[in-house]
Amino acid sequence: MSSTQQSGGGTATSAVPPTSTSTPRLLPSASGWWYLGGRRLVLLGPAAADAAGRLDPAVERQLLATGAHGPTPVRAYALTALTTTACNLGCAYCFQNTGPDPRGGSQPPRIDGSAMSRQTARETVEFAAARMAEAGLDALDLHLSGGEPLLNPAGCRDLLEFAGPRGLRSARLTSNGTLLTPTLAGELAGAGLRSVRITLDGRREEHDLIRVRRSGGEGTFDVLMARLAKASAATELRWELRVNVSQHNRDGLHALLDQLAERVDPDRCQIMFALVNDTGVGYRNTLARDADLVDRFVGWLGHAAERGFRIRRPAATRPDLGGSSRGRLGVVVSADGTLYGRVETAGRPDAAVGTLHTGYRPEAEIAGRWRGAGPDPALRAFRDAVDARVLDFLHATGRLDPPAQLPDPTGSATPAKPVGPVGPAPAAGLSACGGRR
């Protein structure tokens, strides 16, 4: 690319459209191998790889020649904005906690609290617009985050308002759902919001032990379910329902899916299941990542699909645009205008990469702050085992297009595309597990 690494006030413009390159994955299938390329999902014959999962060189050359893998165009700048770093819940595993509640209650200490002002919201979008111009992009993807972003609804409205004229392509909200009234949902949808991610921790009896109000420790399941149902009925918003999995709730998740199917339109909801990892502040997940847990994940996803929910098709591991480009194609802006490479580190001074007013700090000072270490090998192996089984399920139940034969020197290589209840591929390849929020 012809553009140079920018500072906060840089003006260099890219003459070549930016691209992003995913990391391909090779997963075993009941009938051979699944190749998850950056551009195409391909079902390969059993002779395409050896027992250790190494592709035959001739097959690998053909996959590259036919365009199954390679750089893909980046269409939009990825802006994540924290409207506030405060939260009305006291979940023990939140990555924004700085320690456990010393009294064993529902008020674990958190990162410093702040709320985004209208001026900071304006400057946030202007900063993103300048980076878009430098990268040769004319579209913006906005993620409203927190804390609990709806503690500052004005900040959400301001960001949507300022982003609209700047090429807003999509806008999504990550919320605990307890403050999302039908009126507010309608206002945000009218301003450009298109989807909402909400997390559950099981049925009422499990959820209310974990996702509790910070003020008094009360459970939130009933209010969340009521808000979800009413906001869904009042708007055309789409929903991503993330179910955290731990030893506390693994036996009740089929029942939770049945409850959800009665409250919302499953066709507008995408379901994902995520292992709750210990963030080092007192929450310990004791689930063994064994064959039984793989069976459970696949069973939950299959049940969700049968109830009409959308599930994510496993995909190549896609890089985080902000971190992998060192801010050129995306950034996280905290409520006070401080810049970060990842939402997980927002609010922590030792992870900042700059400010809205000064731009990015010199690369030598922040090189290690843009990207995380990624999932540990055990988590990656668990994810691969689940995703391989999910692809076989989608294929066997007709939720992938019937494959067409391609010539292959060692076996069949057949492209497959998601149809039916299968939703878009995940942004970071975490289709069935991973994450902490």
pLDDT at 9 over 80: no
Kindly state the helix (H) or strand (E) to which residue 244 belongs, with its residue range.
Answer: strand 238-245
Residue 279, token pair as written in the block: 């963030």
- Taking Cα atoms as reference points, which of 271, 176, 184, 268 lies closest to residue 231? 184
- Taking Cα atoms as reference points, which of 27, 34, 24, 25 lies closest to residue 412? 34
Q: Residue 83 corresponds to which amino acid? A: T
Q: How is domain 1-20+76-287+319-372 classified at the architecture level of CATH?
A: Alpha-Beta Barrel (3.20)
User: pLDDT averaged over the chain?
Assistant: 87
Residue 324 sits at φ, ψ, to 5 deg, of -70, -25
Residue 47 sits at φ, ψ, to 5 deg, of -85, 0
pLDDT at 15 over 70: no
CA quadruple 296, 298, 299, 300: dihedral, nearest 10: 90
- Specify the residue for token string 């399920």: 393
Quote the percentage of the chain above a pLDDT of 70.
Answer: 86
Q: How far apart are CA 226 and CA 52, in angstroms?
A: 49
Confidence of residue 133 (pLDDT cuts 50, 70, 90): very high
- Specify the residue for token string 């301001």: 158
CA 27 to chain centre: 21
CA 417 to chain centre: 21
Report pLDDT digits (tens) over 191-246. Answer: 999 999 999 999 999 999 989 999 999 999 999 999 999 999 999 999 999 999 98
Given this model, what pLDDT does residue 285 score?
76
Q: How far apart are CA 383 and CA 297, in angstroms?
A: 10
Q: Over range 161-175, report the average pLDDT.
A: 98
pLDDT at 169 over 50: yes
Predicted TM-score (pTM) of the model is 0.89
Kindly state the helix (H) or strand (E) to which residue 303 belongs, with its residue range.
Answer: helix 291-306
pLDDT at 137 over 50: yes
In the chain, what is the straight-line distance between the N-terminal and C-terminal CA atoms, in Å?
36
pLDDT at 273 over 80: yes
CB 320 within 8 A of CB 99: no
Given this model, what pLDDT does residue 282 score?
58
Residues 6+ apart with CB under 8 A from 106: 90, 212, 213, 214, 215, 216, 217
Count of positions (residues) in the chain: 437
- Specify the residue for token string 């109000």: 213
Given this model, what pLDDT does residue 283 score?
64
pLDDT at 5 over 70: no
Of the candidate ranges 189-193, 353-357, 366-370, 416-420, the one whose mean pLDDT is the lowest: 416-420
CB 338 within 8 A of CB 352: yes
Strand order in the sheet with 168-175: 359-360, 352-355, 338-340, 330-333, 77-82, 140-145, 168-175, 195-200, 238-245, 269-275, 310-312, 422-423
Q: Over range 347-355, report the average pLDDT.
A: 95
* Top-ranked range on mean pLDDT: pick from 23-27, 100-104, 273-277: 23-27
Q: Over range 105-118, report the average pLDDT.
A: 94
Q: Domain coordinates of the chain in residue numbers?
A: 1-20+76-287+319-372
Given this model, what pLDDT does residue 16 score?
74
